[in-house]
């Protein structure tokens, strides 16, 4: 999560420029049958390097089924994509369809600027849970359609668990017991990539779902309304205490601040560490670890809840496709969107190991996801924290200050204080 939480996936080192202008067509006569141009139309679609891997294949099928429609797909790495698209939107020369990240600090900016078309009437919208559409919406209008559901969990070594008679924990006390058994067996319980700022925030995200939002689902709005603070919240103090417990009880490696993400995965694959907190976008990497190391790998939701309480999942929609309000081909683009998100095309669109946002598409279980698939599909969830937050707390507090706290140069109480300072600054900038 290096770049939106803060990273979704590792991005190939390639440079592909986004199209510099909107679509072109050779005529404007409209068909009485379907209400779209009968002459050739080129819809331009701009994506990141890794999202919606099956879109090109579906675009080719759509072209074959719809003579006169051409789909031009361009991809670029995340940072370049954002920079180039921002320039095109500002100059009013954008692609017809393009990806947007969820949240007030992402698609919210584009919505407020008037760059996007209301997609509430596009067929797949009614088939997606409102909770997943919330971070793409404003005033009950939907401006982006997410294609998959992302979530955090604990990848674990099944062989080590079985050897030590360990069952998947269902609450916080059981999770601590699991860690203690692993430590007593001479195995590092959790491989934490402390060198990576994006990685040290993951426990906050995963634990807060059950510890904060299961009890106060409207906490973020209360913070916007200055009715509460991180440092003054008993729930957030509890999350800080849980994170600190894992540190104080020695469940992370002692030299964690020197451990990179790749090193953490190497420790996991070698059986030196039994668990690692990560997201479903990394499933393919753990499948490769399972094959190469000949070990069983599974995944479960980290249980921040107390006994008798339900485990909430830290989950969020992926990026979503949006339609430029200045596109000449509004109806053509909407029809293509409906085709992409059709049930029969969904598996091709999202690829293996992803969970569809469509309620009518059942999640498929694999060796890794078998233990978590029911929770992903049915359990309550709260979006990744940065989606509903202003810019600031994520980077200043839950990344950098957390890293300092893990190294002894700060404290978890200071993390919460820093989050409040960053929130106030970021929220003020949203009002300008």
Q: H or E stretch including 375?
A: helix 373-378
Distance from the Cα of residue 162 to its chain's centroid: 31
* Residues in Cβ contact with 424 at an 8 Å cutoff, skipping those fewer than 6 apart: none
Could you give the CA distance from residue 262 to residue 195 in angstroms, rounded to a whole number?
10
Tell me how crowded residue 181 is: count the other CB atoms within 10 A of its CB: 17
Regions of the chain where pLDDT drops below 70: 1-38, 353, 432
Measured at the CA of 347, the angle between CA 344 and CA 350, to 5 degrees, comes to 130
Q: What is the pLDDT of residue 38?
A: 53
pLDDT (0 to 100) of residue 419: 98
Helical pair 283-293 and 261-269, crossing angle rounded to 10 deg? 40
Q: Do residues 126 and 145 lie in contact, with contact meaning Cβ atoms separated by under 8 Å?
A: no
Size (the chain), residues: 432
Give the span between the Cα atoms of 164 and 157, in whole angstroms: 11
Q: What is the DSSP string of 401-425?
A: IHHHHHTTSS-HHHHHHHHHHHHHH
Nearby residues of 223 by Cβ (< 8 Å), 6 or more positions away: 229, 230, 423
List, edge to edge, every strand of the sheet that includes 145-146.
69-76, 41-48, 97-100, 320-323, 145-146
pLDDT reported for residue 432: 66
Q: Which among 27, 9, 3, 66 has a CA at the least distance from the CA of 279?
A: 9
Can you give the pLDDT at residue 25? 52
pLDDT number for residue 365: 78
Burial of residue 162 (CB within 10 Å: 0-12, 13-18, 19+) is exposed
Residues 194 and 276: beta-carbon distance below 8 Å: no
Q: What is the pLDDT of residues 147-200, one digit of tens each?
A: 988 899 999 999 999 999 999 999 999 999 999 999 999 999 999 999 999 999
CA 107 to chain centre: 14
With CA atoms as reference, report the closest residue to 139 among 122, 116, 158. Answer: 116
Q: Residue 373 class from Cβ within 10 Å (0-12 exposed, 13-18 middle, 19+ buried)?
A: middle
Which domains does the chain carry?
41-147+318-356 (3.40.190.10), 151-315+368-430 (3.40.190.10)
Query: Looking at residue 156, what is its pLDDT?
Result: 98
DSSP state of 383: -
**120 Cβ contact partners less than 8 Å away, ≥ 6 residues apart:** 140, 141, 142
Check whether the bond before 59 is cis (ω within 30° of 0).
no
What's the Cα-to-Cα distance from 124 to each of 103, 120, 227, 360, rounded to whole Å?
A: 20, 9, 37, 10
For 44, 141, 317, 321, 363, the CA distances from 324, given in Å and listed in that order, are: 11, 15, 20, 10, 31
């Amino acid at each position: 999560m290096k770049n939106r939480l803060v990273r979704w996936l590792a991005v190939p080192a390639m440079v592909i420029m986004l199209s510099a202008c909107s679509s072109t067509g050779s005529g404007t006569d409209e068909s009485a049958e379907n209400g779209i141009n009968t002459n050739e139309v080129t819809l331009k679609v701009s994506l990141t390097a890794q999202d919606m891997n099956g879109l090109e294949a579906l675009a080719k099928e759509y072209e074959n089924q719809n003579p006169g429609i051409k789909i031009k797909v361009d991809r670029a790495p995340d940072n370049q994509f954002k920079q180039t698209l921002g320039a095109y939107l500002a100059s009013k020369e954008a692609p017809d369809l393009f990806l947007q990240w969820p949240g007030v600090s992402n698609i919210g900016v584009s919505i407020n600027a008037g760059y996007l078309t209301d997609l509430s009437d596009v067929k797949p919208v009614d088939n997606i849970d409102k909770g997943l559409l919330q971070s793409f919406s404003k005033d009950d209008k939907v401006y982006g359609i997410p294609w998959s559901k992302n979530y955090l969990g604990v990848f674990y070594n099944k062989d080590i668990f079985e050897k030590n008679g360990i069952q998947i924990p269902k609450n916080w006390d059981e999770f601590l017991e699991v860690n203690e058994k692993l430590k007593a067996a001479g195995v590092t319980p959790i491989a934490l990539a402390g060198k990576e700022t994006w990685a040290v925030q993951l426990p906050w995200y995963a634990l807060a779902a059950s510890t904060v939002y299961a009890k106060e689902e409207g906490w973020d709005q209360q913070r916007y309304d200055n009715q509460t603070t991180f440092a003054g919240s008993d729930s957030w103090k509890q999350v800080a205490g849980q994170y600190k417990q894992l540190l104080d009880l020695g469940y992370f490696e002692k030299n964690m601040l020197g451990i990179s993400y790749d090193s953490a995965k190497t420790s996991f694959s070698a059986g030196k560490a039994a668990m690692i907190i990560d997201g479903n976008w990394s499933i393919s990497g753990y499948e490769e670890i399972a094959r190469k190391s000949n070990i069983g790998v599974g995944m479960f939701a980290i249980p921040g809840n107390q006994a008798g309480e339900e485990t909430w999942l830290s989950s969020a929609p992926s990026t979503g496709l949006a339609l430029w309000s200045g596109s000449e081909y509004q109806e053509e683009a909407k029809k293509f969107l409906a085709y992409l998100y059709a049930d029969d095309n969904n598996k091709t669109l999202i690829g293996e190991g992803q969970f569809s946002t469509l309620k009518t598409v059942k999640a498929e279980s694999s060796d890794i996801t078998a233990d978590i698939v029911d929770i992903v599909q049915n359990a309550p969830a709260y979006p990744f924290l940065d989606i509903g937050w202003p810019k600031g707390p994520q980077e200043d507090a839950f990344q950098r200050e957390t890293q300092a706290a893990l190294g002894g140069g700060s404290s978890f109480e200071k993390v919460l204080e820093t989050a409040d300072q960053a929130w106030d600054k970021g929220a003020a900038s949203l009002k300008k």
